[in-house]
A and B are shown apart, each in its own frame.
Chain A
């Protein structure tokens, strides 16, 4: 088991102590369990967001993939690909239908 020392806001620390007592019956072991669960959940979310990638296609053929558009553009430049007719997709896609908001009135 790793041991780390961190500083957190007083109000958050108090909430953590109360939650540990309430859900685990003890402060010490309970706080570690809550922090470990929270970190696992949060880090998984961060890693999931990083997994998004952009894909460049031309005439249906995949030319390159990268986690950001600037990295994708760099790869295409290295490959000598002209931007005309390029189709860029994102692994997470786009929603087919979304609300346009009140500013949009055409």
Chain B
């Protein structure tokens, strides 16, 4: 089980991003804080410089992200690993120019049971049973 923490009123988790094909990970030591945003329908959004450093060798896929104001921007992404000790979760990691934070979205949360308790400002994140079975 993972215990997300609150940054103000926003829940966040600590994770490591890894390109399993090169072995390169970000950060090299420790972990980064990723905001949990259920309004983002993707898996993981990261800053462009981190994306280029970690996944630069791989060929990117492109798709469209719809902003809150209805505008559309193009993202580029690849499949990579997120490590949340003791779990490793695979998914589509993408970036958009100008993004300066790490955001996990609904597709990432699909693998987990997430409990948020705003009374005590605590949270719990547990991997879904189907992911533990195999």
Contact = CB atoms under 8 A, between A and B. Distances in A.
Interface of A: 45-46, 49-50, 54, 68-70, 72-73, 76, 83-90, 94-106
Given A83-B58, A106-B97, A99 B39 contact: yes
What size tier do the contact residues of chain B reach?
A: 35 or more
A83 B20 CA distance: 10
Contacts, number: 118
Give the residue among A70, A102, A104, A105 with the most B Cβ atoms within 10 A: A104
A42 to B, nearest CB: 9
Nearest to A82: B57
Given A69-B80, A73-B20, A83-B22, A100 B88 contact: no
B41 interface: yes
28 contacts: A45-B130, A54-B79, A54-B90, A68-B90, A69-B80, A69-B90, A83-B21, A83-B58, A85-B57, A85-B58, A85-B59, A87-B61, A88-B78, A90-B79, A94-B77, A94-B92, A95-B41, A97-B66, A97-B72, A99-B66, A100-B40, A100-B73, A101-B105, A103-B35, A103-B45, A104-B45, A105-B68, A106-B98
A96 B47 CA distance: 20
The dominant DSSP class at the A interface is mixed
Interface of B: 19-22, 35, 37-42, 45, 57-59, 61, 63-68, 72-73, 77-81, 88, 90, 92, 96-99, 101, 103, 105, 129-131, 133-134
